[in-house]
A and B are shown apart, each in its own frame.
Chain A
Amino acid sequence: MAITEENPGYKWVGTRPIRPDGLEKVTGKAQFGADLMLPGMLFGKVVRSPHAHARIVSIDTTAAEAMVGVKAVITGSDFPDLAANGAHASDIDVASNAIAREKVLYEGHVVAAVAATTRDQAEAAAKAVEVTYEVLPHVLTVDEAMADGAPLLHEGMITKGVDPAPENPSNVASKILHERGDLDQGFGEAHVVVEREFTTKPVHQGYIEPHAAVADANTDGRAHIWCSSQGHFQMRAYSATVLGVSPGNLKVTAAEIGGGFGGKTVIYLEPLAVRLSQRAGRPVKLVMDRDEVFRATGPTSGTRIRVKMGVSEDGKITAAEVWMAYEAGAFSGSPVGAAGMTAIACYDIPNFVVEGYDVVCNKPRVAAYRAPGAPMAAFAVESVLDELARDIGMDPIDIRLANAAVEGTQASYGPKFPRIGFVETLEAIKDHPNYTADLGPNQGRGVSAGFWFNAGMMSSATVHINENGSATVVTGSPDIGGSRQSMALMAAEELGIPYESIKAVVADTETVGFNDVTGGSRVTLATGAAVVDACRIIVEDLRARAAKTWDVEVDQVEWVEGQAQHVEGTQPPLSLNDLAAKSGRTGGPISANASLNSRGVGAGFSTQLCDVEVDPETGVTRVVRYLTAQDAGRAISPDYVEGQMQGGVVQGIGWALNEEYIHNPDGVMENPSFLDYRIPVASDLPMIDCAIVEVPNPAHPYGVRGVGEVGIVPPMAAVGNAIRDAIDVRMTDLPMSPVRILEALNEQSD
């Protein structure tokens, strides 16, 4: 592990104790989305479109309603028509994606839902809902969607960001543009220019837990929802919008969440479960099958990206031109904006144009996926940079060092970088033994780098001191990968009490203040800051209580290692236990809330090194060695920082080699299973070596930057560059499957 700055004497931060929720999760007690059972609960089933694009002519539910055990059947008309109500466009999209009204826009789009007393009855009833469609022509890719005369998904869609605005509607929702300097001049100064075109396929977050929701509605309009999501406050907000009720009427309890990676920031089942429960007068559970997860929940965009870059003889990038089109799926909102901002953000480039398009097509609406938008752009840019380094005979780390963004560099997306740790990640790779390890026959080595903003946003926390001096830390950020542990570690550090005497919990929407989603690598930063703030309020309170007890001024009291000490030592110390036991005498229970809109987000960088071996006769690629270096700012919980780094890398390896959505010409997904949507299995991988770099974020009390996302940005190019090194073939289309590699090898030998 490479630590660039010494740990400043923390007792708990940076240690590796057992996570607070671990016991429940290794004993099977933890309650995930589908685990809840309520008395009288019904099972629901969703009816989905078999067509990629069709007008709903009619829906006949009479047969389904008449079936044994069926208690409710709902369709789009059971929800308010937000478009008719003049709602905000993005809310209309959320509602239209939750259940279709006039048109279905992708295979798997919801058209109805049923609830019945058993699973089998619900399935039978779902099959009995008769939907008549008028099938419309569809578009599946950016190429098809942007073609002249392409069928339109949304007849009124005029491209935003183009001046003057186009007169005619199209499938292009918006255009983004970033530019600086003079492109012609930059390419004129280049010694070598490389231009390549890349494509990537939609890939799914692939969380192992399918979406699940249980709703229990009351007759007074209130309802309780249990669901696994990355943000139960967000689920509440979206559900309220779709149902047309006040958020305060909905209580959402966060079940344990079985993976999300961005894909569980979206509602699918929750408002349907509530409406079914209202109609049936009983609790309703809705759980997706795996094939529904693939067909109807958010993958990330398929893309087409062109990159042209030039370098001087000494490896300085003189110009970069990037063109990118991102599939949004059925509704606008692909991550092309972030892609445009991140594509070349690792580097200090004087002349560039980055142009991007958000394009709708007849596939499921894309959802966030770990550093949304950045990985595809990085695949393209880092592949071209690898070519440039080869062309001028420069070491791949050295060329990145020669152009690396540092503190004060004006980022390609606008502002100047504060203190960042990109260079340190490059050096960590270069210093690691993997960088010079021997390579065997048909083996190759690739380097790639990535940038992600990380996010802040809103968080709340409550800290209670219990009567024996233990503490309960309450947040509203679902714990998707060990965040309870980082909350408890920071609270232990602040309060000066043992980690083991702190319980960290995730509370429902009525028990703690608002929290934005667990996403954007924000929880340890923002929710962590709220926990730190709440702890500091408590420490102030404790000092005041000690001062009261000793009859001294507050400034005579210090809080050291969990106890109040008199600065001159004239009083015996008062421990937290003492103060808690007698809290009634000093003002009552000891408790504090803190809420904030986080500031001081620290950008994340990752540099990765991949060794592969390619079988030149079958095109099969195996990763034989992998190293990832990432700037965590501060690793509050190093076990789970490594876990995020390793997990991001392995998702990236899957994206690089095998994962893809395959649609037939009718727009029907052909591989909606874990058998044919091939995420990596244990035997596909080596150990994933980690170098945690710590360049503290000056704006956070512990220097946290956020670690969840940037790890998935470099792997595709790292693998591609290693394949190039192994077999002399540049792969420009993802996934770099055996079929594609063998095709490329055949072309090369022709």
Chain B
Amino acid sequence: MARTHITAVVNGDETEFLAEDGTSLLNALRDEVGLTGAKEGCGTGDCGSCSVMIDDKVTTSCLVFAPEANGATILTVEGLADSGQLHPLQQCFLEGAALQCGICTPGFLIAAKALLDKNPDPTETEIRYALAGNLCRCTGYDKIIRAVQEAAREMRGQ
């Protein structure tokens, strides 16, 4: 299988790695870059655990071929905190007990960030639909939705 040399800005750092052409960006990030925050829950785009931002758009990295990332700017959960300062979403997930096992949490945080980037004041329904691509089997979503609401309030300065 052909391997491609990929240069991308990953969590703010210019990063170079080699990946087989048919491999997913998710596997490349995990195996080649060593960022295991994004998880594979399904490999078919149905669970959202591998969500990352590529050029400011959220997507499931399991459905992206690694070479597609060449030249892109990628944000994973590892890059969400800013110099040791947690993102408000991370802080609200912690304070609101919005995680149980935690496997889906990285994907939820990225998807929620993507939502709040676009819509700083979403309704509960808008949050639920925006996060419908992220499966959580532990929480029943209740505390996740509340944590996103709270983070949105904080980020709006309310």
Contacts and interface: CB of A to CB of B under 8 A. Distances in A.
User: Do A and B touch each other in the complex, judged by CB within 8 A?
Assistant: yes
Nearest to A22: B94
A443 to B, nearest CB: 18
Q: Please name the 8 residue pairs, one residue from A and one from B, whose CB atoms are nearest each other, closest first.
A: A28-B37, A258-B103, A25-B102, A650-B140, A639-B97, A646-B140, A674-B46, A28-B77
Contact of A30 (B27, B102, B131): B102
A34 B77 CA distance: 17
B97 A643 contact: yes
Interface of B: 1, 20, 22-23, 27, 30-31, 34-44, 46-47, 49, 76-78, 80-81, 86, 90, 93-97, 99-106, 109, 124-125, 127-129, 131-146
Task: Give the contact-size bracket for chain A.
Answer: 35 or more
A209 B139 contact: no
B101 A207 contact: yes
Given A26-B94, A673-B42, 14 more contacts: A26-B90, A27-B37, A29-B78, A34-B40, A120-B1, A208-B41, A209-B101, A259-B103, A290-B42, A639-B143, A643-B140, A647-B139, A675-B44, A683-B128
Nearest to A628: B140
Nearest to B79: A28
Interface of A: 16, 18-19, 21-23, 25-32, 34-35, 37, 118-120, 205-210, 256-261, 287, 289-290, 480-482, 639-640, 642-644, 646-651, 673-675, 679-683, 685, 687-688
5 contacts: A25-B105, A643-B139, A673-B42, A681-B135, A688-B142
Contact of A290 (B43, B101, B103, B140): B43
Given A26-B105, A209-B101, A481 B138 contact: yes
B136 A208 contact: yes
A32 B86 contact: no
A682 B41 contact: no
Nearest to A690: B142
B47 to A, nearest CB: 5
A259 B35 CA distance: 21
A22 B20 contact: no
Contacts of A687: 124, 142, 145-146
Contact of B95 (A18, A206, A647): A18
Contacts of A673: 42, 44, 46
Contacts of A679: 135, 137
Quick one: which of A642, A643, A644, A681 has the most chain B CB within 10 A?
A: A681
A735 B141 CA distance: 21
A673 B136 CA distance: 15
Given A19-B94, A208-B103, A674-B135, A649 B140 contact: yes
Given A22-B94, A480-B101, A643-B143, A683 B125 contact: yes
A29 B38 CA distance: 10
Nearest to B97: A639
Nearest to A287: B40
Contacts of B76: 28
A681 B80 CA distance: 24
Contacts of B95: 18
Quick one: which of A27, A289, A650, A685 has the most chain B CB within 10 A?
A: A27
A223 B93 CA distance: 37
Contacts of B136: 208, 682
A265 to B, nearest CB: 15
Contacts of B46: 290, 673-675
Contacts of A16: 97
A533 to B, nearest CB: 26
B132 A681 contact: yes
A210 B46 CA distance: 14
Contacts of A644: 100
A441 B13 CA distance: 56
Contacts of B103: 32, 207-209, 256, 258-259
B100 A23 contact: no
A560 to B, nearest CB: 30
B140 A647 contact: yes
A650 B141 contact: yes
A679 B103 CA distance: 16
B40 A258 contact: no
A481 B46 CA distance: 23
Contacts of B101: 207-209, 256-260, 480-481
Contacts of A207: 101, 103, 137
A651 B131 contact: no
Given A209-B103, A675-B44, A683 B36 contact: no
